Structure 1
Amino acid sequence: MVKKAGDKYHAIIDAAVKVIAEHGYHNAQVTKIAREAQVADGTIYLYFESKDDLLISLFRLKMTRFVEKVKHQIELVDTVEQKLYQLIYMHFKQLAMDQDLAIVTQIELRQSNRDIRKLIGATLKIYHQLIEDLIRQGIDEGKFHQQLDIRVMRQMIFGTIDETVTSWVMKEMKYDLLSLVQPVFFLLMNALKCK
């Protein structure tokens, strides 16, 4: 049974993010990750069954923490509009502050095999649910169109935010991602709100 907690677990996760961002997932050897985490190669297997398990665990941990932060932040504001703004802001801020993680989530995860993508998709559902809850609140309050298809609108919101980050990563992060919060918010609010 592998361990899923402790200082070494987190050190290995952080090392994996850095090594995968630098070398790509397929070239991120366990030896390189162990060296970066300052642990023996075999220690990796006390915490992860395989390199695939490490990638899935990395995404699960980072996504769960991120969603918790977003939930906390949107609870601090009153209106559904402010909640949407905070969601966009937090998404961009998280990846602007951790460019290695941005490379891993926007590039490397998408090149993984189908089984990994499926498990990652299951973790992503918690974020999708958060977006759907926000849309439902806007509809219930009469601020968003009553005829919105919640699932389709969630795909549009997530897709817009995700593609904005992917473009930023592909352009080697040469501009301020946070400068795009307001334009993306404006675009999405115009698609959502009642006229």
Structure 2
Amino acid sequence: MKKNKPKYTQIIDAAVKVIAENGYHSSQVSKIAKQAGVADGTIYLYFKNKEDILVSLFQQKMGNFIQKIEEETNSQQTAVEKLLKLIEKHFEQLTADHHLAIVTQLELRQSNKELRLKINEVLKRYLTVIDQIIEEGIQDEIFRNDIDKRLVRQMIFGTLDEAVTNWVMKEQHYDLVEQAGAVHDMIVRGLTYRT
């Protein structure tokens, strides 16, 4: 399978760097090929076009991202602990790869509707993790049972997404991971019963 070949990964990694540094629209396939150390034609053995590279990049990188979040949250006991781990891993993974953070937070937003729909397909798995944490919290009577689960999911994802976008826009001049505890505290306060 092509996705297991080293050149596929080389091209994906090169595309992240080139798109982050030049913007999606200014990132010619030839620039990606040069960064990957392959001939222009080699790209087309793996990808149909530049859009296919962007979608594949997102599928691969976010697939790995989500898998790590699933593994880390599953190792926690309570919904509150799982939510904290999810927030920490979300922030840690994107701060560890600032090129990927730029691509996911800025460049993917400028893509066309069809491309965004493909990207949303990948995100469904991540949203499912959030849904499971919310559901577990409600079942264990940690989170309120009168909440709109869909709205809560949107608020959690939206909060994390905006925090990373703001960090990228501020050119990573502060420690995003340090904010995980405060973000977690605000979300949990909104989800738990008031005493």
Class of the TM-score when normalised by the shorter of the 2 chains: over 0.9
Q: Which residue identity does 1:54 align to in structure 2?
A: I
State the match for 1:9 in structure 2: 8
Bigger shift: 73-82 or 119-128?
Answer: 73-82
Unmatched 5+ residue regions in structure 2?
none
Q: Which residue identity does 1:3 align to in structure 2?
A: K
Alignment of 1:20-169 (within 5 A): 20-169=19-168
**SS of the residue aligned with 2:4?**
coil
- The superposition leaves residues 71-125 of structure 1 with CA deviations (integer Å, 9 ceiling, x where unpaired) of 1111211111110000000000001000000000000000011111110011111
RMSD: 1.0
State the match for 1:193 in structure 2: 192
Percent of aligned pairs sharing the same letter: 51
TM, length-normalised to structure 2: 0.97
**SS of the residue aligned with 1:4?**
helix
Q: Which residue identity does 1:67 align to in structure 2?
A: I
Once residues 82 and 187 of structure 2 are traced to their aligned partners in structure 1, the CA distance between those partners, rounded to angstroms, is: 12
Once residues 189 and 125 of structure 2 are traced to their aligned partners in structure 1, the CA distance between those partners, rounded to angstroms, is: 25
Answer whether contact 1:165 1:177 (CA < 8 A) is retained: yes
Answer whether contact 1:3 1:48 (CA < 8 A) is retained: no
Q: Which residue identity does 2:45 align to in structure 1?
A: L
**SS of the residue aligned with 1:106?**
helix
State the match for 1:182 in structure 2: 181
Once residues 194 and 12 of structure 1 are traced to their aligned partners in structure 2, the CA distance between those partners, rounded to angstroms, is: 49
Count the aligned residue pairs. Answer: 194
Deviation at 1:5, TM superposition (A): 2.7
Once residues 148 and 126 of structure 2 are traced to their aligned partners in structure 1, the CA distance between those partners, rounded to angstroms, is: 17
Deviation at 1:148, TM superposition (A): 1.2
Deviation at 1:47, TM superposition (A): 0.5
Once residues 194 and 43 of structure 1 are traced to their aligned partners in structure 2, the CA distance between those partners, rounded to angstroms, is: 57
Deviation at 1:44, TM superposition (A): 0.5
Deviation at 1:3, TM superposition (A): 3.0
Unmatched 5+ residue regions in structure 1?
none
**SS of the residue aligned with 1:43?**
helix
Deviation at 1:153, TM superposition (A): 0.4
After superposing on structure 2, the runs of 4+ consecutive aligned residues of structure 1 that deviate more than 3 Å are none
